[in-house]
Structure 1
Amino acid sequence: MINLQSLSTFNLYPAVDENEINRIEIEIGFKFPKVFRDLLKLTNGFETKEGVIIFGTDVIFERNQTYEVSEYAQGYLAIGSNGGGKFYLMSSNEDSTELIQVDAGVMNPEFSSMVSQDFIKWINNGAINIDLLDEEDEENCGQLCDLILVNPLRGGATDLKKIQEVFNIKKGLFDLLKGSKQLPFVLMKDIPINLANKNLKELGELSELLKISNVN
């Protein structure tokens, strides 16, 4: 389910109904993935501050026709772009959830990059532009940091277990819970900052409980 709160920082547009979605599907020639339909019923596309654009029904047909997506990426639908010359594709399958990106000049899924295996999770985590993550990785290569719990756990052990899983923290959950009673509490030491930033983005709202420090 799409978390409406996760959309609060996006530029949103008036939602569309089933009739409008059905009309565009007929025009394009196949059914949209259900997760994409669910998004359109909340906002007819969106744009993020990082330049990520998800197409609405007003432009999706034109974009797919202009770039001849059905010819060069048969079986796929272009549903957006990253603002840097790359298109987001999803399989033209109602059950599809996987999001990939291809260069606009090489509209071929064989040369794609994986954006997310879960379209809704990608949205709920902020619709991250993976190319910007790559730039951060290069800038922060070799730098280390500590992961620190600075705010009380709202969901108790459930929140902490999620953080433990995402960061692959070796400390036992009992020890982590005990330490979380006295903040700030260092969860991990000397981890690559690029990995820490990537994991924080994956945590979504839970990242607000944490901070990274002691960058070398």
Structure 2
Amino acid sequence: MDESQVRKKLKEIELSLGGKLSEDYKKFSSEKVQWEDVHELKLVSGGQVYIYGCAQLLERNAAYEVQFYASGYFLIGQDGDLGYFLSLKGEDEVYSLDLGALGSLTMNKEADSIYGL
């Protein structure tokens, strides 16, 4: 999948969710993740997070019922039980939360953008 195909798929996802993904995320996904199912991103803190490719995004969000328990957010990756999310308002900030706590706890801001993880 090339950059234009990734951007087209992300636009379809935005339309299906009725929200907007951040421009930084769309750029990162189209340039770095591209055709991969999962992309390993090394964190500034020394750990890693696995960022989902386009083909996995809707399935992973459905599996964790993100739109039901955390409407307004979109799961973009995870590290074990810790999910990484974007707001569906087009904002760049990346948040995290234990996937078992969706809907019951406030999300933690992890970075100002995916490039800051």
Query: What's the TM-score bracket when you normalise by the shorter of the two chains?
Result: 0.7 to 0.9
Unaligned runs of 5+ in 1: 1-13, 123-216
User: Aligned with 2:55: secondary structure?
Assistant: coil
Greater RCO structure (CA 8 Å; 6+ sep): 2
Q: Within the alignment, does 1:108 sit opposite 2:97 as a pair?
A: no
Could you give the per-residue CA deviations for residues 53-78 of structure 1, whole angstroms, max 9, x where no partner exists? 11111000001111111111111111
For the residues of structure 2 that align with 1:80 and 1:19, how far apart are their CA atoms?
20
For the residues of structure 2 that align with 1:58 and 1:86, how far apart are their CA atoms?
20
Match of 2:85 in 1: 89
Q: Within the alignment, does 1:70 sit opposite 2:67 as a pair?
A: yes
Could you give the per-residue CA deviations for residues 180-211 of structure 1, whole angstroms, max 9, x where no partner exists? xxxxxxxxxxxxxxxxxxxxxxxxxxxxxxxx
Match of 2:116 in 1: 121
User: Aligned with 2:110: secondary structure?
Assistant: strand
Among 6, 21, 25, the alignment partner of 1:36 is: 25
- TM-score, with normalisation over the residues of structure 1? 0.44
Flag the structure with higher strand content.
2
Q: Within the alignment, does 1:20 sit opposite 2:9 as a pair?
A: yes
How far off its partner does 1:121 sit? 2.4
Aligned Cα RMSD in Å?
Answer: 2.1
| AA of the residue aligned to 2:108 | S
- Identity over aligned pairs, percent: 25
How far off its partner does 1:41 sit? 1.6
How far off its partner does 1:109 sit? 7.5
How far off its partner does 1:34 sit? 1.3
How far off its partner does 1:21 sit? 1.9
| Structure with greater Cα Rg | 1
Match of 1:54 in 2: 51
Verify the 8 A CA contact 1:30 1:92 in the aligned structure 2.
yes
- TM-score, with normalisation over the residues of structure 2? 0.77
**How does 1:128-207 map onto structure 2 within 5 Å?**
none
Verify the 8 A CA contact 2:24 2:113 in the aligned structure 1.
no
For the residues of structure 2 that align with 1:97 and 1:110, how far apart are their CA atoms?
21
For the residues of structure 2 that align with 1:16 and 1:29, how far apart are their CA atoms?
22
| AA of the residue aligned to 1:21 | L
Greater CA drift, 40-49 or 63-72: 40-49
How far off its partner does 1:51 sit? 4.5
Aligned length: 107
For the residues of structure 1 that align with 2:20 and 2:107, how far apart are their CA atoms?
22
Verify the 8 A CA contact 2:41 2:51 in the aligned structure 1.
no
Verify the 8 A CA contact 2:72 2:87 in the aligned structure 1.
yes
- From the superposition, tell whether residues 75 and 37 of structure 1 become closer, same or farther in structure 2 (CA, over 3 Å): same
